Amino acid sequence: MKRENIILLVVFVLLALVPFAAEFTGQSSWTKLVGQALIYGMAAASLNFILGYGGMISFGHAAFFGVGGYVVGIMYHHFDAGTAFLGFIPGTDQMLITLPAAVLVAGLAAAVVGALSLRTGGVQFIMITLAFAQMFFFLFISLKTYGGEDGIMVRRTNALPGLDMKDKATLYWVVLGFAAAYYLFLRRLVQSSFGQIIAGIRQNERRMAAMGISTYRYKLYAFILSGMGAGLSGALMVNFLRFASPDMMHWSKSGELMVMVILGGVGTLAGPFIGAGALFTLESMLARYTEHWMLPVGILLLIVVMTSKGGLMALIRKLTGGAK
């Protein structure tokens, strides 16, 4: 077994033991904390695919995170009320339906946003993705049926056959399973033929066009794949916190995802997860002392960006002697 895979397996086992450790030490909040960090890690990793590997700086990624979350919320709302979405789509609380639906709808949203914003580049692209995300944000605020600014309470986590999803540990393991699967998916994706084309486009779009690649189509496909990943993580988050709100797609959430990617390491597989974990740990530690915890986090981000090109991943690589 390769060293990289051994490390992954060890990390996976350690993460799987978190609920036991939490129970043993009486720190029941750990499970919730690590679970959230894993979900944010997935969202950040999905952003990293277009940002780090594809060179598309999307500043509206939280929109797809929120859309995925709202699919779960809205379907639960109709399930609970016994009504139908748009009058003909019945609600459901089955995770095997809500998650694929969330991925699909987020993918559609990304297709629309991507098709329009990828016609631009550079700063315009950043601004247009931001503008789209804010449109989604205000759209969901205006939907009074679904709680408007307050969002939707999901009283019970979606059901998964054979599992007791009310159990906090079970829910955590389901999240961990998705995070691990998503990590492996991304690893395969960046090594695939498509992943190589995307890496080529990041480095030199003009050269790729001269080799016969219609770069727009490839970038759009990457953008959709990325949006689907964000949708999946949003759907998991709503299941995990049992709450969907417009805040999920606020521009500051897009910024937070970007911070996770940059802090952890742009264009690396594990970086976004490490960045999400680091940001969450810092937040929960510093929040105990001051409500202005963003200030020290900001200073830390500055130090990481200025001293280590490549975020925490680069630092880890340096410390472990260049190995993965």
Partner 1 sequence: MTHVLEISGLVKKFGGLTATDHVSLTVDTGEIHALIGPNGAGKSTLINQICGEIIPNAGHIHLAGREVTRLPPADRVALGLGRTFQITSLLDDMTVRQNLGLAVQAREGGNFHIFDRAAKRAEIWDEVGETLNDTALSPRADIAAADLSHGEKKQLELLMALSQRPRLLLLDEPMAGLGHLESQQMIDSLRAARSDCAMLLVEHDMEAVFALADRISVLVYGRVIAAGTADEIRANPAVREAYLGEEDA
Binding site for partner 1 (CB under 8 A): 188-189, 191-197, 199-200, 203-204, 206-215, 218, 221, 225
At its nearest, how many Å lie between partner 1 and the CB of residue 307?
Answer: 22
Pick between residue 195 and residue 264 the one whose CB is nearest to partner 1.
195
How far is it, in rounded angstroms, from Cα 64 to Cα 226? Answer: 9
At its nearest, how many Å lie between partner 1 and the CB of residue 89?
Answer: 29
Pick between residue 103 and residue 197 the one whose CB is nearest to partner 1.
197
At its nearest, how many Å lie between partner 1 and the CB of residue 213?
Answer: 5
HEC string for the chain: CCHHHHHHHHHHHHHHCHHHHHHHHCCCHHHHHHHHHHHHHHHHHHHHHHHHHCCCCCCCCHHHHHHHHHHHHHHHHHHHHCCEECCCEECCCEHHHHHHHHHHHHHHHHHHHHHHHCCCCHHHHHHHHHHHHHHHHHHHHHCHHHCHHHCEECCCCCECCCCCCCCHHHHHHHHHHHHHHHHHHHHHHHHCHHHHHHHHHHHCHHHHHHCCCCHHHHHHHHHHHHHHHHHHHHHHHHHHHCEECHHHHCHHHHHHHHHHHHHHCCCCCCHHHHHHHHHHHHHHHHCCCCCCCHHHHHHHHHHHHHHCCCHHHHHHHHHCCCCC
At its nearest, how many Å lie between partner 1 and the CB of residue 235?
Answer: 21
Pick between residue 197 and residue 261 the one whose CB is nearest to partner 1.
197
At its nearest, how many Å lie between partner 1 and the CB of residue 228?
Answer: 12
At its nearest, how many Å lie between partner 1 and the CB of residue 51?
Answer: 16
Pick between residue 134 and residue 215 the one whose CB is nearest to partner 1.
215
At its nearest, how many Å lie between partner 1 and the CB of residue 210?
Answer: 5
Pick between residue 71 and residue 190 the one whose CB is nearest to partner 1.
190
Pick between residue 3 and residue 207 the one whose CB is nearest to partner 1.
207
Pick between residue 200 and residue 255 the one whose CB is nearest to partner 1.
200
